[in-house]
Amino acid sequence: MAGHSKFKNIMHRKGRADAVRSKLFSRLSREITVAAKSGMPDPAMNPRLRLAVNNAKAESMPKENIERAIKKASGGEVDAMEEIRYEGRGPGGVQIIVEVLTDNRNRAASGVRSAFAKNGGALGESGSVTFMWDRVGKIDYPAEAGTEDAVMEAAIEAGAQDVESDLVKPDIYEDAPGHTIWTAFEDLNEVAEAMSKVLGDPKSTAIVWKPQSEIDLEGDSVGTLFKLLDALDAEDDVQQVYSNENISDEDAAKYAG
């Protein structure tokens, strides 16, 4: 829709989430540890661990932190870690998926339930939202990685499904992905490796949830949704939050403060 930019909307929220971002390393470490525990502790032999390590490096996590997280996989404390997915809706019927990695299921459930209840949302049953989403691969490159045509060509050659380029001004939105490449779930690592040979290392590579459609949201509902998403992000057990709102740049800026 004209006048809407998913990247810009995310960036407007970014300032609000600076405190949450301080927890980023702990979340990345947790994912590395669990990934290492789920397979070989060698990134070259473990695709999930390779993704986790690459994403940690993209966020400038120190090498010693990464190595410590991998070594922790041999300890017994990660045996009890559970991956849980919660699904619900926010203001205006916006669909929300919350991925949790926790050693205390009751604590995680209580935190997520409270965030929804206090911020205009409602938890749903398992599968109540995800049937309208796709599980896919996502590769992000900064705008300077190449022109839209160059990135598109590299993506096609690598076997990607789609490319979205939103080349906002880097001096305003310095963390905007620039180019997002979508792949089939099973093709992510192969496509990422092929593209890295042409464009260099991506900013991030991940398996994500992608909505099949978006829900338009405006006015005060935008502010309520932002509070809900921030509350979920602030939960220590929460790893990722996905939502399918479509908000105008004007409303995103107005309610970001």
pLDDT tens, N- to C-terminus, the chain (257 residues): 233 345 445 544 554 445 555 578 888 888 898 888 888 888 888 888 888 888 888 888 889 999 988 888 876 555 577 889 999 999 999 999 999 988 899 999 999 999 999 999 999 999 999 999 999 999 999 888 888 999 999 999 999 999 998 765 444 444 555 899 999 999 998 999 999 999 998 888 888 999 999 999 999 999 999 999 989 988 989 988 999 999 988 888 888 76
Give CATH 1.10.10.200 domain extents, the chain.
17-74
Q: Mention the CATH class of domain 17-74.
A: mainly alpha
Per-residue model confidence (pLDDT) at position 79: 58
242 C-beta neighbours (distance < 10 Å), count: 18
Decide if domain 133-211 falls under CATH 3.10.450.50: no
Nearest to 37 by CA among 25, 48, 26: 48
Residues 46, 52, 54, 60, Cα dihedral to 10°: -150
Residues 163 and 155 sit within 8 Å (Cβ to Cβ): yes
Residue identified by tokens 């590395």 is 32
Please tell me the distance from the alpha carbon of residue 239 to that of residue 227, in angstroms, as a whole number.
17
Give CATH 3.30.70.980 domain extents, the chain.
82-131+214-255, 133-211
Distances in Å between the alpha carbon of 185 and those of 134, 136, 162, 192?
Answer: 9, 4, 13, 12
Residues 167, 188, 152, 132, Cα dihedral to 10°: -70
Per-residue model confidence (pLDDT) at position 96: 96
Helix-strand-coil split of the chain, %, nearest 5: 50, 20, 30
174 C-beta neighbours (distance < 10 Å), count: 11
Per-residue model confidence (pLDDT) at position 252: 84
Please tell me the distance from the alpha carbon of residue 120 to that of residue 229, in angstroms, as a whole number.
11
Overall fold of domain 82-131+214-255: Alpha-Beta Plaits (3.30.70)
Amino acid code (one letter) for 138: K
- The DSSP secondary structure of 104-157, one letter per residue, reads -HHHHHHHHHHHHHHTT-EE--TTTTGGGEEEEEEEEE-GGG--HHHHHHHHHH
Per-residue model confidence (pLDDT) at position 108: 94
